[in-house]
Amino acid sequence: MDYGVYHIMFEEEYSFITQRHVVVLPYPSQGHINPLLQFAKRLASKGVKATLATTHYTVQSICAAHIGVEPISDGFDQSGFSQAGNVEFYLKSFKENGSKTLSQLIQKFKNSSSPVNCVVYDAFLPWALDVAKHHGIYGAAFFTNSATVCSIFAHIHHGLLPLPLTPEVAPLTLPGLSPLNFRDLPTFLRFPDSYPAYLAMKLSQFSNLHEADWIFDNTFEDLEAKEARGVVEIWPAKLIGPMVPSAYLDERIKGDRGYGSSLWKPLSEECMEWLETKPLKSVVYISFGSMVSLTDEQMEEIAWGLKESNLHFLWVVRDSEQKKLPNWFIDSTKEKGMVITWCNQLEMLAHPAVGCFVTHCGWNSTLEGLSLGVPMVGVPKWTDQLTDAKFVEEIWEIGVRAKEDKEGVVRKEELQKCLKEVMEGERSKEIKKNANKWRESAIKAISEGGSSDECINEFVESLMASYNKNLNGHY
């Protein structure tokens, strides 16, 4: 059904009640704002009033139709995380200032025609649930990792798996999960001292989860039903993904061609013009997302690998990473490639000239590559990327994972080998076929009547039904 028609019918049908109002609160990084903002848009498309609450520093980056946007404070209103200087300090300040300002925001709407009924909060920010409960409204946790990764962390939190994960636990078998080798396990769990504040945050996601009214995860039934079911007793999540703009999947939300948030200036126009001149499926798009920082050595190996592969490439090297590019690189490859500081990744992946996605396997990038049916070369570097890369290569078979040497570097020969395998090798046909199959599956999940769409409808219906009900004794 056309979304516009649906929306009008929905509004007419429910015009006698106050519109339900959900505040959506992401952790303020690109990989978290994107899926939560997309969820807010989905809710708005189903007649719910949705307001995105994000930090002063990131609020300017949001530009999305049909969504309200309101600032809250992390205590670093000028430049956010970089102003804080360290993770622990930042998270502590965000909890203090965020709790206070989220509470003020809920209060602000209290006497309006649309008081807030529910906070959908990034699971990284469990204090938001306490704020919601304090105000007597619903709280829903939104997880931005795969169900597999959530399952592993849930087991650790509940003391069902010891920390650190050592080579002896491998192959790790948990209910519903395919056996995981040591190299597939999230780095924070293998090396708990590497980023203790991040590890603590990821475990804290489960600290008060039993009080949440809903748990959502950005994945979908066909992709991870078995994994989610295996952990349902301690993590009963509804699978609502992939949270990728509608234009690339079901096309039901008019004009929804991008997430509507960019923390850096995208240079998409130049890229699109350049891509127009390239043959079908001939270009390698390469990006390590918004956070990974490569060593100089790794950067040089990738540079050589791209040059010697002689393939067309479009490489996103963020401003802060540019100094690591070897000084010979740009000039000697300008006939073949383009280096940019940021772009609208989805537009690139959707372009017919792009034939391969070299990715760090952040969960959003993984879902985007899968949703757009682009074969991948995984070059995971830290945290959950290693687990995602295993799935890309071995479970969904939509790409390959580049092997690191003993120093943890993917060498130029390895990168070239992987590119060949995905773009022209024996396996490439099978990989392309699987990539198309998974794209169809992603479209089905989020389309009308699909598994994710149904979960979102159930949530919306519960919100509607809660009107006038004395739910949880809070109203």
Task: Compute CA 23 distance to the chain's CA centroid, rounded to the nearest angstrom.
Answer: 19
Q: How many residues bind ligand UDP (CB under 6 A)?
A: 19
- Binding segment for ligand UDP (CB under 6 A), chosen from 249-257, 289-297, 396-404, 465-473, is 289-297
User: Closest separation between CB of residue 370 and ligand UDP, Å?
Assistant: 12
For ligand UDP, the closer of residues 137 and 292 by Cβ is 292
User: Closest separation between CB of residue 260 and ligand UDP, Å?
Assistant: 11
User: Closest separation between CB of residue 205 and ligand UDP, Å?
Assistant: 16
Q: Are strands 337-340 and 312-316 parallel, antiparallel or unpaired?
A: parallel
In the numeric block, the tokens 């000084």 are attached to 327
Instruction: Please give the full DSSP string across 182-212, using - where no structure is assigned.
Output: GGGS-HHHH-TTTSHHHHHHHHHTTTTGGG-
Which phi-psi region, left, alpha or beta, contains residue 426 (left: φ > 0; alpha: ψ -120 to 50)? alpha
Q: Does 289 bind ligand UDP (CB under 6 A)?
A: yes
Q: Tokens in use for 49?
A: 């009033």
Q: Which of 51, 148, 219, 344 binds ligand UDP (CB under 6 A)?
A: 344
Coil, helix or strand at residue 272:
helix
User: Closest separation between CB of residue 307 and ligand UDP, Å?
Assistant: 21
Q: Does 58 bind ligand UDP (CB under 6 A)?
A: no
For ligand UDP, the closer of residues 305 and 362 by Cβ is 362
User: Closest separation between CB of residue 224 and ligand UDP, Å?
Assistant: 16
For ligand UDP, the closer of residues 45 and 145 by Cβ is 145
For ligand UDP, the closer of residues 105 and 189 by Cβ is 189
Bridge partners (DSSP) listed for residue 118: 22, 138
Q: Which of 254, 301, 210, 335 is nearest to 44 (CA)?
A: 254
Question: Which run of H or E residues covers position 77?
Answer: none
- Binding segment for ligand UDP (CB under 6 A), chosen from 186-194, 197-205, 233-241, 356-364, is 356-364
For ligand UDP, the closer of residues 338 and 343 by Cβ is 343
For ligand UDP, the closer of residues 201 and 463 by Cβ is 201
| Spatial CB neighbours of 413, under 8 Å, sequence gap ≥ 6 | 305
- Binding segment for ligand UDP (CB under 6 A), chosen from 2-10, 83-91, 103-111, 340-348, is 340-348
Is the preceding omega at residue 164 within 30 degrees of 0, hence cis?
A: yes
Enter the DSSP assignment of 242: -
Q: Does 291 bind ligand UDP (CB under 6 A)?
A: yes
- Binding segment for ligand UDP (CB under 6 A), chosen from 30-38, 159-167, 168-176, 405-413, is 30-38
User: Closest separation between CB of residue 26 and ligand UDP, Å?
Assistant: 11
For ligand UDP, the closer of residues 321 and 454 by Cβ is 321
Distance in angstroms (rounded) separating the CA atoms of residues 422 and 376: 7
Q: Which of 316, 358, 400, 443 binds ligand UDP (CB under 6 A)?
A: 316
Contact between residue 32 and residue 144 where contact means Cβ atoms under 8 Å apart: yes
Q: Tokens in use for 382?
A: 């830290």
Sites for ligand UDP among residues 229-288 (CB under 6 A): 287
| Spatial CB neighbours of 78, under 8 Å, sequence gap ≥ 6 | 57
Instruction: Please give the full DSSP string across 276-345, using - where no structure is assigned.
Output: HTS-TT-EEEEE-TTT----HHHHHHHHHHHHHHT-EEEEE--GGGGGGS-TTHHHHHTTTEEEES---H
196-204 vs 147-157: helix crossing angle, rounded to 10: 90
Q: Which of 38, 290, 298, 333 binds ligand UDP (CB under 6 A)?
A: 290
- Binding segment for ligand UDP (CB under 6 A), chosen from 29-37, 189-197, 198-206, 420-428, is 29-37
For ligand UDP, the closer of residues 61 and 282 by Cβ is 61
Distance in angstroms (rounded) separating the CA atoms of residues 92 and 168: 35
Task: Compute CA 316 distance to the chain's CA centroid, rounded to the nearest angstrom.
Answer: 18
Residue positions annotated with a catalytic role: 32, 122
Q: Which of 6, 14, 31, 71 binds ligand UDP (CB under 6 A)?
A: 31
CA angle centred on 314, ends 309 and 318, rounded to 5°:
120
User: Closest separation between CB of residue 425 and ligand UDP, Å?
Assistant: 25
User: Closest separation between CB of residue 121 and ligand UDP, Å?
Assistant: 18
In the numeric block, the tokens 């080998």 are attached to 417
- Binding segment for ligand UDP (CB under 6 A), chosen from 61-69, 147-155, 342-350, 416-424, is 342-350
State the binding string over 361-400 for ligand UDP (x if CB under 6 A, else -).
-xxxx--x--------------------------------
For ligand UDP, the closer of residues 47 and 399 by Cβ is 399
Distance in angstroms (rounded) separating the CA atoms of residues 255 and 64: 10
User: Closest separation between CB of residue 138 and ligand UDP, Å?
Assistant: 27
Give the footprint of ligand UDP on this chain (CB under 6 A). 30-31, 34, 287, 289-292, 316, 342-346, 362-365, 368
